[in-house]
Amino acid sequence: MNWGSIDRYAKSLIKEAGHKIRVSFFSTIDIDSKADANDLVTNIDRDIERFFISRIKRDFPEHRIFGEEGFGDEIDTLDGVIWMLDPIDGTMNFIHQKRNFAISLGIYLDGIGMLGYIYDVMNDDFYHAAKDEGAYYNDERLATLENTPLEEAIIGVNASWVAPNRRIEHMPIAEMVHKCRGTRSYGSAAMELAYVASGRIDAYLSLRLSPWDIAGGMIIAREVGAIATNMKGEAPHLLGQDTFIVAKPGLHDEILKNHILLK
């Protein structure tokens, strides 16, 4: 397996997809709701996923693809090479803001993250990493993260997890919100993972993410020393939805130990 060559191929494909997305703003965007009214998808999400799949199937016929829009393969094992793709992570932002969304891609070999990419399309900001070779923000190598105590941390957490909800005890989360320096919420897991990896925020957590939301970002985050797990402290499930927390090392422990109580 020539991973250097796959890396160059993936980068080129992502940049081409980004261009297609930027151009899409000049055409009509059709909006559907998927599982529920707040889970939106557009013809552009679908077109971009199909674009990736047609290219990957042509050029790497033995690889499998696990994509948000479901045009890829049925994936129930992590054997072999799997491209885990979210063509537009942050579709609601894509529709309403025309910014703050990302292409997210992680390429896994037998469940091990080999290559990770997050492309903030509108800012033309490209985050990428290869296993054991470090992570990059455009051409700049990202520094290894140093720990930040909770009191000085900026945490990516959506208000819905601070309100009473059926997945997590909200009061320990509310305590975390008061104790930390500040919270942010951007509406794209991939972008928030990229922000953790590049030190713009110190942690990010969510109670319900899919493999394609985190597959690329986890590889990037790992290369700068961030810890990414589910909220039981285990490796996140890569075949279905799971809880998720990524943070600087000591901060990950502190949040998980003191502020996470799953229902």
Binding-site residues from annotation: 68, 86, 88-89, 213
- Give the residue with the Cβ less far from a second copy, 79 or 124: 124
Q: How far is residue 82's CA from residue 103's CA, in Å, rounded to a whole number? A: 16
C-beta of residue 81 within 8 angstroms of C-beta of residue 1: yes
**Interacting residues toward a second copy by CB under 8 A:** 37-38, 92, 96-99, 123, 151-152, 154, 157-160, 162-165, 173-175, 177-178, 181-187, 195, 199-201
Q: Quick one: which of 59, 57, 86 has its CA closest to 73?
A: 57
**Binding-site residue ranges for Mg(2+):** 68, 86, 88-89, 213
Give me the least distance between CB of 157 and a second copy, in Å please: 6
C-beta of residue 199 within 8 angstroms of C-beta of residue 238: no
Give me the least distance between CB of 183 and a second copy, in Å please: 4
DSSP label at 26?
Answer: T
User: Phi first, then psi: what are they for 237, rounded to 5°?
Assistant: -65, 125
Give me the least distance between CB of 172 and a second copy, in Å please: 11
- Give the residue with the Cβ less far from a second copy, 53 or 201: 201
- Give the residue with the Cβ less far from a second copy, 117 or 195: 195
- Give the residue with the Cβ less far from a second copy, 12 or 123: 123
C-beta of residue 55 within 8 angstroms of C-beta of residue 106: no
Instruction: Count other C-beta atoms under 10 Å from residue 199's C-beta.
Output: 17
